[in-house]
Structure 1
Amino acid sequence: MNRKIFKVILTLTISVVLSNAQVFHTARSISLAGAYSTYDTGPDALLWNPANLGHSNIKIGFSFGIFPFVPFNSLRLFNNSINASWFNKYMASGLYLDENKKKEMLSFFSAEGLNFAGEMCGRIIGMRIGHFAFSTNLHFISSGNIPKVLLDIPFRGIKLEQDIELDDVDAFAQSYMSLDMGYGHLLESDIINSYFDSFSVGVTFRLLLGIETATTKDVNGTISVFKDGISMEGAASIKGGIGGFGCGIGAGISGKMKERLSFGLSVNNLFSFIRWTKSTKEYEFEYRNFLKPEDFFDDEIDSLFEAGIISDTLKDVSPFSTVLPVYIVAGFGYNYSKKLDIYASMIQFVNESWYSSLTPTFSVGAEVRYLPILPIRFGINFGGESGFRWGGGFSIGGRTYSFDFGFSQDSGFFNKARGFTISFGHEFRF
């Protein structure tokens, strides 16, 4: 693979992934803000708690989320600093930005700069047959960071002889397909039956087919402005792979008590990894140049920038692995009445990654069924990478078919939120 093709693919991986979103969430889990661990007994349970499959009373079911021309069924975008209200006030209102306004505007960014993330899941098909379930999904994940010093430049410019350090620029993107299958089995004994109406154990096995991965490495550089020109120097490398294979497992337990109370505990993505073995490359370059003011008005400015490249290499590297974060899910559900169910869940990632936080997430949600054909769901959660999230959604349908919709926002409400998730799905049941 030549250098230009590899760079184009890596660029598309990072930019396309940022426009999509979501890892293991669905319309129902999003509307409950993640209070979902005991809710589903179908394909969704594979990545929440496979033991729930043991409680399924549906013989055959199919679920999918892909509309024509819409290649995803859940999309999430999130950042750590700004929201729609910030954009409307400072960027879209025509407000004159004096020094105080610029200072106020830039105060929204933390010292570490602008962190952003995107996740997407496109379910091709999910299927349940009795206590078995199978699901095929496309996953796209990305995250990155822009240092605060770079965010200052468009509004404050660069002071003479000020050094702009570029060491904190990071980006990561990964896409893969998962083939998930699982089984839930009801256990019975005198001891179990004395405490539980039903008790199940379950396991999920995952086949992971890597599509693309790319991450920045060893980014460093400096931009300095002088009276007679701009000095730029730096180096960076991007490591990536196209094509890989991996696997993983998950396991859980789930029980129902006193006809109304349910609980569950699961460990997911155990030993999950993708081994990238095809087209594993590393692109490295070094740059050093001094541009004078008149150079920026030169028709050959592109060649001037290219002339500053000291080295530009694309080399083969040994196969490498990326690990999917392990997470624990615990929760319970309570059937308060025929028209109201209450749920609570806790999600704890075991290892930190580009798109997971070691801060646990606690969720509470409810489903209201005053109209049997229109269940309404809502929930809130605290913790995780966003600190706070609220969600809401609904289903339309009956016993054999339902259309599901879910929407949530991160770190605030409406224009004050710094991220959002939207999802939809369908399910046929027989």
Structure 2
Amino acid sequence: MMKASNKTIWPIALLILFAYTPLSAQNEIPEESSQTETIFEESETDKFQETEEELEQIEDEYRELFDNRETTAEDAVKEPVESPQESFVSEPVYEADKTAWAALGIDPFSIKKFQPVKLGKDDFASIVFSRAMRTPVAALENPSNLAVASQTRWGLTLPLPLPVPTMGVSVQNSSFDLGTYNKYFNDGRLLSADELDNFVNLLKDGMDFQTELEFPSLVSFRFPLFVGTVFLNSGLYVKPLGTLPGEVLAMPFAGLKFNEPIQGDDLYFDVYAYLKSTVGFGTRYQLGSIGEVRAGISFNSYTGSFAMIDTDELTLLSTPDYIQVKGSVTGIVVDPENDDFANIPKITPGIDFGFAFKTRLSDLIPINLPSYFVNDLDFQVGFYDMGASLSSGNMLKKQFSIDGTIDDLMDLTEKDVDIDSLLNIVETTLDSNFIQTEDLAGKMKLMVTWQPLGRLMLQAGMTNFLNEGLGYESKPRMHLSATVFPLKWLMLNVGLDRINGEGRLTTGFGFTTRYWDFAVYTHATGLGENIRGGGFSLVNNIYF
């Protein structure tokens, strides 16, 4: 082969290079600084492209974390969560933390998607809540409870008078407690002089007593409508109360002492009874995706009467020669000789109303909790007996003055002597055929019910008395209780109340089936050796 000379190769190479050079480059006139500027522009572009790629990488990492935020506790705590700029978790989470939370079945490091609150009526928590709030007593204290979802087909409620009706009995006093009984009377021995004096001193200020007898749902009927629930109810309330003079109470123990008068000025007795008839309505509304609100209102009529006895002055004086009794007593009663019975009860109006809000916190908390944590929260505020009063006609007010002296005690014991002949009793009519009106104390009740678990219901409440009247208490009532439902139809309850500054411990059990409620509650006023009263209440209702 013949070798090409250098003169032949160079023209061919230049021709090929020229053919592959772009036209624009061929016509471009190079400048002195063009090469430097091109290098700088390429360097800045490369840096910008690298920064853009880093931002895209960071964005992809955040998007991946956000899309996979419903992770398990095990995945979330294997190693600290890190990102190019900042971490979702402020401190590293290690294996020990994972073990502690996993024991409770809780994953606090995963964020779940928001879901609307679902307050059904078929889950365990909703069922036991409904059965606790469906009673007529709950509707009387807050009409919004009429709107609680019913567990029966028709939503009807009827009280059962047999074997026992729904009722409550309570008795308490201010001076005589369990500790006093155990100290002075439990062992059957005779008291020493010092012990007797100490016991008498306990009674020197008198003894207040109060009794409550309630039949809140003698007649009760509850039925649903398309927009709510209608409630018809009638209940009877009887409340005797009074004060016994301390010196009179101590007289059987201390005996009569010569020339030391016994005063009974603070003798007082009052009893009032009334029938409360109610027409109520309650409804509920789903409040967006956070829960439900309930509202209710009841219109009441009150029919009742009362009697009162009060001592203006009462003195008993004993000397070696005679015994003297002197005093006056005023009484107000319904005139027994007036035949106009239609005017005795006066019908007076009153109103109850209330509101409630319920939500399921487990649906609102952005943390995955195990299924047995329900966290249902119900807040109620109710007003009842607002503007209520009792008014009775045909009333009679009389005063009895007593003045008598017994000179010879031996003749009184040995001879058949009529004591009435020794006492000068003067009867004076102060007023007759008049109308007596007394206000009832209106009340506001706040109640919070929390169900952390479906089987556990915790309640805290407060009752304030808004105006003076019959049943008024100067201090608000406080309430705490815990109710356990081992089964849907089995209820165990323990509660602690504070009434007039006295503690009250309540225990109860009952059966709350779909169609029947039966429960027994007992309570003791005071705790331990300070128990100075007690009572019980029964619940007996049927549902359709």
Query: Same fold per TM (> 0.5)?
Result: yes
Which residue, 153, 156, 159 being the options, matches 1:61? Answer: 156
Are 2:255 and 1:154 aligned? no
Residues matched between the structures, number: 383
2:441 to 300, 321, 325: 325
Give the AA of the match of 1:52.
N
Shift of 1:233: 0.9
8 Å contact from structure 2 (residues 485, 492) kept in 1: yes
**Displacement of 1:62 after TM fit?**
2.6
Q: 1:129 aligns with which of 200, 220, 223?
A: 223
For 2:134 and 2:511, the matched residues in 1 are separated by 18
Q: 2:354 aligns with which of 229, 238, 252?
A: 252
Structure 2: 5+ residue stretches without partners: 1-128, 335-343, 362-375
- 1:16-50 deviation digits (Å, cap 9, x = unpaired): xxxxxxxxxxxxxxxxxxxx9x9524422333111
Q: Which structure features the higher share of helix residues?
A: 2
Q: 1:342 aligns to what SS in structure 2?
A: strand
* Alpha-carbon separation, structure 2, partners of 1:362 and 1:232: 45
- The 2-side partners of 1:49 and 1:71 are apart by 21
Structure 1 position 364 matched with structure 2 position 480? yes
For the 8 Å contact 2:439–2:470, the answer to whether it is kept is no
Separation (CA, whole Å) in 1 of partners of 2:257 and 2:352: 54
Larger strand share, 1 or 2 = 1
Whole-angstrom distance in 2 between the partners of 1:250 and 1:170? 32
Task: Identify if the C-alpha distance between structure 1 residues 47 and 160 changes in structure 2 by more than 3 Å, giving closer, same or farther.
Answer: same
CA contact (8 A) 2:170 2:212 kept: yes
Residues 72 and 220 of structure 1, relative CA distance in 2, 3 Å threshold: farther
Counterpart of 2:443, as a letter, is Y
Q: 2:110 — aligned with what? A: none
Q: 1:308 to 1:294 in 2, by over 3 A?
A: farther
Change in CA separation of 1:65 and 1:233 when aligned onto 2, cut-off 3 Å: farther
Q: What is the one-letter code of the residue matched to 1:412?
A: L
Alignment-mate amino acid for residue 213 of structure 2: M
Residues 87-112 of structure 1: per-residue CA shift (max 9 Å, x gap): 35434532212221113323444x53
Closer, same or farther: CA 182–399 of 1 in aligned 2, 3 Å:
same
The aligned runs of 1:373-392 (5 Å cut-off) are 373-382=489-498, 384-385=499-500, 387-392=502-507
Of 422, 426, 430, which aligns to 1:310? 426
- Equivalent residue letter for 2:230: F
User: Highest relative contact order (Cα 8 Å, sep 6+), 1 or 2?
Assistant: 1
Note the C-alpha offset of 1:428: 1.5
Query: CA separation of 1:411/1:107 partners in 2, compared to 1, >3 Å: closer, same or farther?
Result: farther
Conservation of the 8 A alpha-carbon contact between 1:73 and 1:424: yes
CA offsets 1:132-161 (integer angstroms, 9 cap, x no match): 222211111110101212122111123222
Please give the root-mean-square deviation of Cα atoms over the aligned residues, in Å.
Answer: 2.5
Match of 2:543 in 1: 429
Q: Is the 8 A contact 1:65 1:424 kept in 2?
A: no
Alignment of 1:41-120 (within 5 A): 41-58=134-151, 59-64=154-159, 66-67=161-162, 73-87=167-181, 89-91=183-185, 93-109=187-203, 112-120=205-213
Please give the alpha-carbon distance, in whole angstroms, between the structure 1 residues aligned to 2:484 and 2:438.
Answer: 41
- CA displacement 1:135-191 (0-9 Å, x = unmatched): 211111110101212122111123222222221111110112111221112246xxx
Give 1:304 deviation, angstroms: 2.6
Q: How far apart, CA to CA, are the structure 1 residues paired with 2:526 and 2:381?
A: 27
2:297 aligned partner: 203
Moved more, 391-400 or 340-349: 391-400
CA change 1:112–1:67 in 2 (3 A) is farther
| Alpha-carbon distance in structure 2 between the residues aligned to 1:373 and 1:187 | 28
- 1:236 pairs with 2:329: yes
Counterpart residue number, 2:16 = none
Which residue type is aligned with residue 531 of structure 2? A
* Rounded Cα–Cα distance in structure 1 between residues aligned with 2:411 and 2:330: 27
Task: Report whether the alignment pairs 1:420 with 2:420.
Answer: no
Shift of residue 353, structure 1, vs aligned partner: 4.5
Asked if structure 2 preserves the Cα contact closer than 8 Å seen for 1:63 and 1:425, the reply is no
1:46/1:181 contact within 8 Å kept: no
Aligned match of 2:239: 141
Q: Give, in angstroms, the shift of residue 422 of structure 1.
A: 0.7
- Partner of residue 274, structure 1: 390
DSSP-derived class of the 1:60 partner: coil
- Which stretch of structure 1 is more off in the superposition, 233-242 or 403-412? 233-242
In structure 2, distance between residues paired with 1:329 and 1:322: 22
Residues 158, 209 of structure 1: alpha-carbon distance in 2 compared, 3 angstrom cutoff: same
**Letter aligned with residue 523 of structure 2:** S
Q: What's the secondary structure of 2:461's corresponding residue? A: strand
CA offsets, 1:68-94, max 9 Å, x none? Answer: 5x6772111111121345335434532
Report if the CA contact (8 A) 2:480-2:495 is conserved: yes
Measured against aligned partners, the alpha-carbon deviations of 1:279-306 in whole angstroms (never above 9, x if no partner) come to 311132111011121353242233335x
Q: 1:370 to 1:82 in 2, by over 3 A?
A: same
d(CA) in 1 for partners of 2:411 and 2:353?
62
> Residues 312 and 43 from structure 1, CA distance in 2 versus in 1: closer, same or farther, beyond 3 angstroms?
same
